[in-house]
Amino acid sequence: MAAQTCAIMNIPSRLRPAVLAVAALTTLAKPALAEEPATIVAAGEVAQTIVITGAGERRGAQSDTALGLRLSRRETPQSISTISRTQIEDFGLRGVNELLDAAPGINVERVETDRTYYTARGFDVTNFQFDGIGMPFTNGGQWGDLDTAVFDSVDVLRGANGLLSSTGNPSATINFVRKRPTADFQASAELTAGSWNKRRADADVSGALNASGTVRGRLIAASETKESYLDRYSRDKALLSALVDIDLGERTRLGLGYVQQRNNANSPMWGALPLYYSDGTPTDYPSSTSTAADWAYWDNTDRRAHAELTHDLGGGWQAKAVAMRRALSAESELFYVYGTPDRATGLGLFSYPSAFSGEYRQTMADLRVSGPLELGGRQHELMLGLSWGKEDAREHSGYGNDIGTPLPDLAGWNGHYPKPSFDASSAGSDFGMRRRSLFAAAQLNPADRLKLVVGANATHVSSSGISYGDAHDYERDAVTPYLGATFELNDQVSVYGSYTRIFNPQIQIDARHQVLPPIEGRNLEAGIKSEWLDKKLAASLAVFRTRQENTAEADANSVNPTTYHGVDATSTGFELELDGRVAEGWSVNASYTQFRLKGDDGEDARTYVPRRVLRLGTTWRVPGLPGLKLGGKLKWQDRTSTTASGFAITQKAYTVVDLMASYEINRQLTLALNIDNAGNDKHLTSLYWTQAYYAEPRSASVSLRWTY
């Protein structure tokens, strides 16, 4: 509990009662509670899936998320955490934003209703992977809502990961670990109803498709409709996924999968609310206020297909080839509001409607070979690989001749605005990016308790084409080294350190309409990791220092297109984490992150990113009623700020508490209640941009889950 106690003591005293509202659930637990039934079944066929969860599963499990080597959590010389399927189901984390809100060190920047960015350690998160394979999003963020129904867990690796991702972004790498087909038959279904007419249905069935079990399949489906606390806004989404695993022989397996998700949003916000009046005082609209027109919509479709071939070469060596295709399409008619309102009248805002469509195609291939190697009388592990990826983007924006039409006060606006024809003018993009990488890594064991990890990635990236009238041409080569070490002080405690370089090409343009140079820099991390209670509980402390050059920062008041300038910044800080089962039936997930982010001038940089963030979550099975589980999670972050037109904008520190309760009626049926933002706290979702909207007020949902 040392990490949790230290984190709470760093919170201002006025917030400690809110922290204790969640923590109180843990103080009632006793070591003599009945053992918590296992609720996660990891796909046994997957040799390289990490299973490090808040429900107390075995923490010595191995993962190749970080370095492509099968390393345990303690052997990985970086901070790594996992959001498990248990946590997803306990707290109803059905979307990626809700899930990453619970991830240590990750900040979810909801800039619009259907566009989100993510930050960690002060910098943007752009590395998103599926089973270790992926490319940064073309547009830099998530459009729509990525549903979690198809994922078994999500790994969160903090710090640079240029060894496998080719681009050493120093923030974090998010790896979505897919569910896999199982040999044994299993099935589940769930119905959910909640605030603002939320309706959701989930189904998941898996098992052998032939008598011998050499062909296994899995089908996953989800559908959700929901209105909103925001005026006029509603969204529906539907997901369907099919997966097949085929044993081609005793040593060879082929995995195939396809998932399609559709997100349809009605009256979504493009941009958000103005944050200040013309006299510089902050605005304070009702939480339901929206700038969206009643005819606006934004539909996004995400299709992902993959093929994975693995072969056991013998002697512990394995070869794996993966191909993945991702296609994203967007169709929208949107309404942006710009200007600065008058404090007395609310007037001073103007219209900017646009019709937008986009098509994005990512194709990736990865081949790697790994296994043990005898050298100097000791066994080491080696991994060699190469990857190739391309991405093509085509975008079109159409505009009407009514841009600049004066609007009424937003506080009483009903969204009525004549829909234009969007044919007065147009602009767009047509460009492609290519990436080729060769990488290698080795875990060396020079002594019983000392392990060294060395590696390098050689990458060539290029881009060609046009983006809204500006050339999108560049070509870069870089070699990204990696060096790490872990030393076991005893059977429970290890210390570690790691170093890597940063290389991250950018797509933003400067004031001369030239693509910004790649981000470069270096990342240092050191820390201590420990495992307790038969590896059911893990605790860690990490200190880090990241130097990043040429980070894109938006120029003040630049629009259509937004231009950027490069900023040099250094992030220095620490993270604490406690994760696992502290007693039978009692699980805890706690983390605290604190850092400084300074520019070359010594001033605070990127002040919209919170410098201190606390996450605290717990679940507890009530003694005497083993079917009853109670839980809560808390997020606290300190104040953030930004500056626009010379005016300072501040979001005060805030706390959000979510509560849950579930009861296992019998072996097949579970009834669950979730209450989000139980304290009904009103706050802005983000200051990432100079417009923002308010977070969702208190809401509740009830679910009935059937499992077989």
Give the tens place of pLDDT for each residue, 124-138. 888 888 998 877 665
Would you state the structure tokens that stand for residue 497, as one six-digit string? 């350190």
The DSSP 8-state label assigned to residue 15 in this structure reads G
* Mean pLDDT score, 663-669: 96
For residue 528, with 0-12 CB atoms within 10 Å meaning exposed, 13-18 middle and 19 or more buried, which class applies?
Answer: middle
Task: Identify residue 417 by its one-letter amino acid code.
Answer: Y
Please give the radius of gyration of the chain, using alpha carbons only, rounded to the nearest integer: 25
Would you state the structure tokens that stand for residue 124, as one six-digit string? 């943007």
Q: Residue 53 has what pLDDT?
A: 36
Predicted model pTM: 0.88
Does 203 have pLDDT greater than 50?
Answer: yes
Task: Identify residue 110 by its one-letter amino acid code.
Answer: R
Cβ contact 174:135 at 8 Å:
no
For residue 655, what are the β-bridge partners?
Answer: 636
Q: Residue 510 has what pLDDT?
A: 81
Does 661 have pLDDT greater than 70?
Answer: yes
Q: For the segment 308-366, what is each residue's pLDDT rounded down to a tens digit?
A: 999 999 999 999 999 999 999 999 999 999 999 999 999 999 999 999 999 999 999 99
Would you state the structure tokens that stand for residue 55, as one six-digit string? 């429900």
pLDDT, the chain, mean:
87
CATH for 2-707, options being 2.40.170.20, 3.40.50.10470, 3.40.50.80, 2.40.50.140: 2.40.170.20
For residue 679, with 0-12 CB atoms within 10 Å meaning exposed, 13-18 middle and 19 or more buried, which class applies?
Answer: middle
Residue 464 Cα to chain centre, angstroms? 29
Maximum Cα interatomic distance, the chain, rounded to a whole number of Å: 81
> Which of these, 657, 619, 618, lies nearest to 635 by C-alpha position?
657
Does 543 have pLDDT greater than 80?
Answer: yes
Distance CA 562, CA 233 (A): 26
Would you state the structure tokens that stand for residue 449, as one six-digit string? 């308790």
CA distances (Å), 411 to each of 9, 273, 274, in order? 40, 10, 11
Task: Report residue 43's pLDDT band, with 50, 70 and 90 as the boundaries.
Answer: very low
* % of the chain beyond a pLDDT of 70: 88
SS3 of residue 643 by DSSP: strand
b/e per residue, 123-137, with b = 16+ CB within 10 A?
A: bbbbbbbbbbbbbbb
CA distances (Å), 564 to each of 512, 550, 555, 567, 603, in order? 10, 10, 5, 9, 19
Distance CA 235, CA 225 (A): 6
Task: Report residue 139's pLDDT band, with 50, 70 and 90 as the boundaries.
Answer: low
Q: Residue 558 has what pLDDT?
A: 67
Cβ contact 477:503 at 8 Å:
no
Cβ contact 187:702 at 8 Å:
no
Q: Residue 291 has what pLDDT?
A: 97
b/e per residue, 510-522, with b = 16+ CB within 10 A?
A: beeeebbebbbbb
Does 50 have pLDDT greater than 50?
Answer: no
More confidently predicted of 133 and 231: 231
For residue 635, what are the β-bridge partners?
Answer: 615, 656
Q: Residue 163 has what pLDDT?
A: 65
Cβ contact 188:668 at 8 Å:
no
Would you state the structure tokens that stand for residue 236, as one six-digit string? 């529906």
